[in-house]
Amino acid sequence: MSLQQKANEMRKLVIEGIYQAKSGHPGGSLSICDILAVLYFDEMRVDPAKPKCPNRDRLVLSKGHAAPALYAALALKGFFPKEDIKSLRNIDSHLQGHPCMNKTPGIDMSAGSLGLGLSSANGMAITGKYDKKDYRVYAILGDGEIQEGQIWEAAMTAAHYKLDNLTVFADINGLQIDGPTLEVMNVGDVAKKFEAFGFNVIKIDGHNIGEIKNAIEKAKNTKGCPTAIVCKTVKGKGVSFMENQVGFHGAAPNDEQYKIAMEDLEKEVAL
């Protein structure tokens, strides 16, 4: 299966989980599926049989509301059965509304409250350097999320400690709960901001598998500073009526919408 197809399978699981749960965040989950597909199926050194392996690569989903996308990647990778996705947000499920590292195998850091994750990723990267381990750390941030001040405290820390084992993905989908980021709180030129904070910055199309792969490769070859991959993405990517629709930040599809969404994603596979 190609990485594109993996991403598409993940999108189907995202829709399935949120449809079954009747709640969740499809928009921001669908925008990061391609990034996660490359990370989990091409790049990251992880082993579903040893989810706590000390020398594994780590991922912090700082925009924790996109949990369904991460769950989809972990399920397809074999950390837990695909069927579990249907239990998303249920009282008996290990799949919480936002990621919980003590409940779900493969989750490296609990998340949900925005702005905390880059700091935790820094902590992992600093520890990796201290322990002289070669694992890499990835953090995925939302563009709404970077309105949180702690992100920039953490950006300062990452550069100060020269965390070249850290790669940050900024998911720039342009929308947040109350509307376009431009209107709610303009985050401006995110690439320039990270550059000013001392990052190696790479701008890409966050849905182009080749560009994602190349950017990760460049990040791995960059020494002495962290890398920020600033990804232009489409919120709701892959589902026609969700794309660029702020209303689907945190709304589940109804029966009819579920059918259309799955049809859309079947077509994508056919392509």
Partner 1 sequence: MGIPTREAYGRSLAKFGHDKEFFVLDADLSKATQTIFFKNEFPDRFFNMGISEGDMTSTAAGMASCGKKVFTATFAMFAAGRAYEQVRNSIAYPNLPVVIGGTHGGVLIGEDGASHQCVEDISLMRTMPNMTVIVPCDAKSVECLVEKAIDFKTPMYFRTGRLATEDIYGDDATFEIGKGNVLKDGTDLTIIAIGDMVYEALEAAKSLEKEGVSVAVIDMFCVKPLDVKLVQKYAEKTKKIITAEDHNIIGGLGSAVAEVLAENPVAKLKRLGVKDSFGKSGVKKDLQEYFSLNAKGIIDLYKQM
Residue 50 Cβ, how far from partner 1 at the closest point, in Å? 14
Of the chain, the end-to-end C-alpha distance in Å amounts to 13
Residue found by looking up tokens 């499809």 in the block: 26
Least distance between partner 1 and beta carbon 114 (Å)? 10
- Residue 20 CA to residue 23 CA, distance in Å, equals 8
Spatial distance between the Cα atoms of 85 and 244, rounded to a whole number of angstroms: 25
Whole-Å CA distances, 62 to 22, 93, 218? 23, 21, 22
The DSSP string of 138-174 is EEEEETTGGGSHHHHHHHHHHHHTT-TTEEEEEEE-S
CB of 269 to partner 1, least distance (A): 36
Which residues in 4-63 contact partner 1 (CB under 8 A)?
54, 60
Count the site residues for partner 1 by CB under 8 A: 32
> Of the ranges 39-47, 113-121, 185-193, 221-229, which one interacts with partner 1 (CB under 8 A)?
113-121
Residue 230 CA to chain centroid, in angstroms?
A: 12
* Shortest reach from residue 166's CB to partner 1, in Å: 10
157 binds partner 1 (CB under 8 A): yes
Could you say which of 29, 31, 110, 227 contacts partner 1 (CB under 8 A)? 110
Sign of CA dihedral 71, 75, 81, 83: positive
The nearest distance, CB 255 to partner 1, in angstroms, is 35
| 198 near partner 1, rule: CB under 8 A | no
Please tell me whether residue 70 binds partner 1 under the rule CB under 8 A: no
Strand order across the beta sheet in which 166-172 lies: 58-61, 137-142, 166-172, 227-232, 200-205
**Which position among 42, 47, 134, 153 is part of the footprint of partner 1 (CB under 8 A)?**
153
Residues that bind partner 1 (CB under 8 A): 54, 60, 100-102, 108-110, 112-113, 116-117, 119-128, 130-131, 149-150, 153-154, 156-157, 160-161
